[in-house]
Structure 1
Amino acid sequence: MNQQYFSSKPDSRRRPREVEVVLDGDRLSFTTDAGVFSPGRLDLGSATLLALAPPADAEARVLVDLGAGWGPLSVALARRHPTATVWAVETNDRARELCSANAQRHAPGRVRTVGPDNGPDEPIDLLWSNPPVRIGKDELYRLLDSWLDRLAPNGLAVLVMSKNLGGDSLHRHLEERGHPVERLGSKAGYRVLAVRPTNSIIGA
């Protein structure tokens, strides 16, 4: 794994390539590059999230892909929810550039690609994240906490994390903060968690 994927300005030599990803039965081509997360394929964590994530409420309008990388989850969100706006949040400049181009190819005009200090002003109806665990536990928790606090009252976050990289610890942390959390499933050691705002009840 390229350890610079969470850097804002990766300095690795560029090596663009095309990667095919099957999203909901359609085979799509994405441009990737060195210096970003999982440049050679859709990583197993993201694939597991895609397989287990429930659909957003029909009224959902504000969707976020936190840690968007080169954009497969952002594109999937846009294709699954054609009336919503997707905010692709990514710190890596190179990944942001790729995400923007890939989204324009597969979901034109539907995805807004921004840095971590930006994003929607409105409450978030649905957030997906395969978060950057390599930034360290404390920083990761601060990042996730800050975005989960922006969920709408009936909002939902779907997070995926490897058990070996702290998936179960994250589950406990979120419950300690008062979030209702449900494990949607596990595959190949990845946990997929459904997280509600602190003042809500799962299924409400």
Structure 2
Amino acid sequence: MSDHYFSAAPGSRAVPRTVSFSAYGRAYTLTSSSGVFAGDRLDLGTSVLLREAPLPSRPGTFLDLGCGYGPIACVLATEQPGATVWAVDVNVRALELTRTNAATLGIAGRVRVATPDDVPDDVSFDQVWSNPPIRIGKPALHVLLERWLPRLTPDGVAWLVVARNLGADSLQRWLNGEGWRAERHASSKGYRVLAVRRS
């Protein structure tokens, strides 16, 4: 069976790659690999999220949900020096790449790399950032969000980027129907950036 970026242990040989991009006026060069999400580039959705969502204005505890090789986690920890960022993924290759990239940037002490089950139950998040794995299917995606969104602090916000043609608008309706306040913050290049808060 072929690998998916949401495979826990990719079976394919790791082929290292270098990904360069800019976010919030700073240039980044990260190490990626085959067998992880968008392993050869900064994918368009994440690029839109990092361009349209505002950086946290104060230190806090943040979650990069589905971190891949760590671009969002590395940007948040670099741009907000007082932050602790949990970088969470099921893909062990992605987690190791995130550790490597955080160490290279000198932020390893503030980027907590973990599988979902390794995040302590008592940790809550001031912000959640995610380009969620839409292709796992709607039921699994809903379960994922039902697990993590309740861990927002009372005044916390989740920034989600979803392609319009992959159900961004229906996801927004579902979130509102589940008692969240999901608003369209921006639209760009076929993607919606949703800001999700407690009602």
TM surpasses 0.5 = yes
Greater helix fraction, Structure 1 or Structure 2:
2
Q: In 2, Cα distance between the equivalents of 1:180 and 1:84?
A: 25
Q: In 1, Cα distance between the equivalents of 2:30 and 2:57?
A: 28
* Matched-pair contact (CA < 8 Å) for 2:55–2:76: no
* Ranges in structure 2 where 5+ consecutive residues have no aligned partner: none
Name the TM-score, length of structure 2 as normaliser: 0.94
Q: In 1, Cα distance between the equivalents of 2:46 and 2:150?
A: 23
1:15: which partner in 2?
A: 15
* Matched-pair contact (CA < 8 Å) for 2:65–2:128: yes
C-alpha change, 1:84 and 1:160, in structure 2 (3 Å) is same
Q: Confirm or deny that 1:79 pairs with 2:81.
A: no
Determine helix, strand or coil for the equivalent of 1:77.
helix
* Matched-pair contact (CA < 8 Å) for 2:159–2:196: yes
Q: In 1, Cα distance between the equivalents of 2:190 and 2:117?
A: 31
Q: Tell me the number of residue pairs that the alignment of Structure 1 and Structure 2 aligns.
A: 196
Q: Which moved more, 1:44-53 or 1:103-112?
A: 103-112
Q: In 1, Cα distance between the equivalents of 2:160 and 2:52?
A: 10
Deviation of 1:126 (Å): 0.5
Deviation readout 1:117-171 (Å, 9 max, x if unpaired): 1325232101000011111110011101210011110011000000111111110
Q: In 2, Cα distance between the equivalents of 1:11 and 1:167?
A: 31
* Ranges in structure 1 where 5+ consecutive residues have no aligned partner: none
Q: Superposition pairs for residues 58-69 of structure 1, below 5 Å?
A: 58=58, 60-69=59-68
Q: In 2, Cα distance between the equivalents of 1:55 and 1:145?
A: 24
Determine helix, strand or coil for the equivalent of 2:116.
coil
Determine helix, strand or coil for the equivalent of 2:194.
strand
Q: Superposition pairs for residues 18-167 of structure 1, below 5 Å?
A: 18-58=18-58, 60-106=59-105, 107-120=107-120, 121-167=122-168
* Matched-pair contact (CA < 8 Å) for 2:102–2:111: yes
Name the TM-score, length of structure 1 as normaliser: 0.91
Q: In 1, Cα distance between the equivalents of 2:109 and 2:119?
A: 16
Following TM superposition, the consecutive aligned residue runs of length 4 or more in structure 1 with deviations greater than 4 angstroms are: none
